[in-house]
Amino acid sequence: SRTAVWLVAQLHLFFAAFVLGAPIFIVVSEWLGMRTGDPRYERLAKETMKVVAIGYSLTAVFGVLFAIVLMGPYQPVTNYVFRALYPVWVAYGALILLETVCMYLYWYTWEPLNRSRGAKWTHIGIGVLLNVLGTLLMFLMNAVTGFMNTPPKPLEGASLWAMIDNASWWPLNLHRFLGNITFGGFVVALFAAFMFLNSKKDED
């Protein structure tokens, strides 16, 4: 059971880091394409977003598997964490729905909102909102992780905010935010290298 938890948690974390880190790069690349007029930035942003859309589904799949593995062998501690931080889980579910809508809206409005500069700013704004929602989701899960690692003292009678704003919450937020950007950048570079190696013409 420990090995199963480790495997699904690690895979979920890898995909989550990518779908949270890469959109930051994508929005910056899209903005650079609009500012410079260089279509290569726009193309890289759009092609990378295509991969993010696939990665988002895999993140959800491994997240569900992670929950199932936790609720099986580790049901008592899972129940405790759900009860103790119940509002956090409700907010997490709501934000996941909002992020999913925002992500698909960002992807499927790429062409319609690429016809004028004003519409392009609207599309970039949707991308910024996608990144804000993803960061808030990460903050919520960091609160749960931090609570399990460094619960407040005394734990009995601790307020919800004391459980969220624990000793390791902000260090985790900073570490994972930078880690997500690094991992997302790594995957984007890997994808760009793959496209370069498979190009047939100098223009590609």
- pLDDT of amino acid 93: 94
For range 171-192, the mean pLDDT = 90
The pLDDT tens digits for 80-90 are 999 999 999 99
pLDDT tens by residue, 103-122: 999 999 999 998 888 899 99
Predicted pLDDT of residue 8: 94
Q: Is the pLDDT of residue 188 over 90?
A: no
Q: How does DSSP assign 134-178, residue by residue?
A: HHHHHHHHHHHHHHHHS--SS-TT--HHHHHS-TTHHHHHHHHHH
Whose CA is closest to 170, among 133, 142, 134?
Answer: 142
Alpha-carbon distance values, 192 to 17, 61, 74, 81, 157 (Å)? 18, 26, 41, 41, 52
CA–chain centroid gap for 185, Å, is 13
The packing angle between helices 117-149 and 75-84, to 10°, is 120
Cα Rg for the chain, rounded, in angstroms? 19
Confidence bin at 191 (pLDDT 50/70/90)? confident
At 122 the pLDDT is 95
Predicted pLDDT at 148: 93
Reported as a pLDDT band with limits 50, 70 and 90, residue 59 is very high
In 3D, which of 120, 104, 142 has the Cα closest to residue 19?
A: 104
Which pLDDT score, from 0 to 100, does residue 95 have? 95
**pLDDT of 143 strictly over 90:** yes
Predicted TM-score of the model (pTM) = 0.89
What is the pLDDT at residue 121?
A: 94
- Angle, CA of 195, 188 and 126, to the nearest 5°: 115
pLDDT reading at 171 higher than 90: yes
The 10 Å Cβ neighbour count of residue 89 is 15
Provide mean pLDDT across the span 158-178: 96
